[in-house]
Amino acid sequence: MRLTFLLLLLLVQCRTASAPDPEPEENPEPVVFTPGQSPIKILFVGNSLTHSNDLPALIVELAQMDGVNITFKMIAPGGYSLEDHWNAGEVQKEMAAAHYDLVVGQQGPSALPESQVLLKRYAEKYANECARVKSSWALYMVWPSEQRSFDLDNVIYSYTQAAKSTAALLFPVGLAWKLAWEEDPAFPLYGPDRFHPSMHGSLVAAMTIYASLQGKENFNFIDLEKVSWKSEVTREQLTRMEESALRSIREK
């Protein structure tokens, strides 16, 4: 009897030791952001294209004029890709420590085929992480340098496909820039280095992002006499930026 008991105990232990650990959920259901929501807590994950002209602060300023409360944190070291952020781990820790309604991801233009693959791969990782912590996931589409302006359509394609594959909310800023240039090829969207945005470029980005977030069909709430950037933008330029931002959302 004792021998039989020992054999049964050994069999149970072997089965327990060999039982595989439960697999983590590979594709949790994405969390969908609801336009019109307020207040909104946003984590911006990117690089100097997000940091330039303090893009998140420009979005907050637009929201305040529209009666919407937005708070944010920005993690945007120069030159970082989504892969760099993932490997550093700071973003994942921040997402776990403080609940965000929305996480906005951005990296470089990602026009080359290998860059498109990496954008999609790490967008998927962050989309799954967002679903795990119950945050919505968004991608901020950027643009190429002036020297590689021929890549703009590939940048638009790259971010659009990455957004589709991850069920991300897409902020089509690169498309808005393209539409602005179609109306005026000399419209001053680039800063001095011809890659980072001028104030005009960052404002187009802010308008595109805010209008996408809140489902806006116009910018009637903007008072050019009260904005912090009133000395840098003419009324005609403001109209051009508004139209480009709204068109990009309709046409993305």
Residue 22 is predicted with a pLDDT of 38
Say whether pTM exceeds 0.75.
yes
Q: At a CB cut-off of 8 Å and minimum separation 6, what does 221 contact?
A: 65, 66, 67
Separation of alpha carbons 173 and 46, rounded Å: 14
Residue 10 lies in a domain: no
Residue 113 lies in a domain: yes
Residue 133, pLDDT > 80, answer: yes
Residue 33 is predicted with a pLDDT of 82
Token reading at 107: 């990296």
Contact 179, 247 (CB under 8 A): yes
Which residues sit opposite 41 in a β-bridge? 71
Separation of alpha carbons 197 and 203, rounded Å: 9
Q: How confident is the model at residue 14 (pLDDT cuts 50, 70, 90)?
A: very low
Q: CB count, 10 Å around CB of 37?
A: 15
Q: DSSP letter string over 126-168?
A: HHHHHHHHT-EEEEE-----GGGGGGHHHHHHHHHHHHHHHT-
Q: Which of 198, 201, 190, 114 has the alpha carbon at shortest distance from 147?
A: 190
Residue 4 is predicted with a pLDDT of 42
Q: Which amino acid is at 105?
A: G
Q: CB count, 10 Å around CB of 144?
A: 20
Residue 17 lies in a domain: no
Residue 185 lies in a domain: yes
Q: Which of 195, 151, 174 has the alpha carbon at shortest distance from 249?
A: 174
H helices within the chain, ranges in order? 2-18, 48-51, 55-65, 82-88, 90-97, 113-133, 152-166, 173-183, 199-214, 235-251
Range of the domain at 71: 34-251
Q: At a CB cut-off of 8 Å and minimum separation 6, what does 201 contact?
A: 177, 188, 189, 190, 191
Instruction: Compute φ and ψ for 71, nearest 5 degrees.
Output: -120, 155
The string of pLDDT tens digits covering residues 196-240 is 999 999 999 999 999 999 999 999 999 999 999 999 999 999 999
Residue 20 lies in a domain: no
Residue 124 lies in a domain: yes
Is omega for the bond preceding 56 within 30 degrees of 0, making it cis?
no
Residue 153, pLDDT > 90, answer: yes
Residue 101 lies in a domain: yes
In this predicted structure, which of 7-21, 64-78, 85-99, 167-181 has the lowest mean pLDDT? 7-21
Average pLDDT of the residues in 61-69: 97
Cα→Cα distances 237→24, 52, 114, 142, Å: 50, 20, 36, 20
Average pLDDT of the residues in 171-180: 98
Token reading at 167: 């069920």
Average pLDDT of the residues in 122-149: 97
Q: What is the CATH number of the domain that holds 201?
A: 3.40.50.1110
Residue 141 lies in a domain: yes
Which residues sit opposite 169 in a β-bridge? 138
Q: Which of 200, 251, 190 has the alpha carbon at shortest distance from 227?
A: 200
Q: How many domains does the chain have?
A: 1
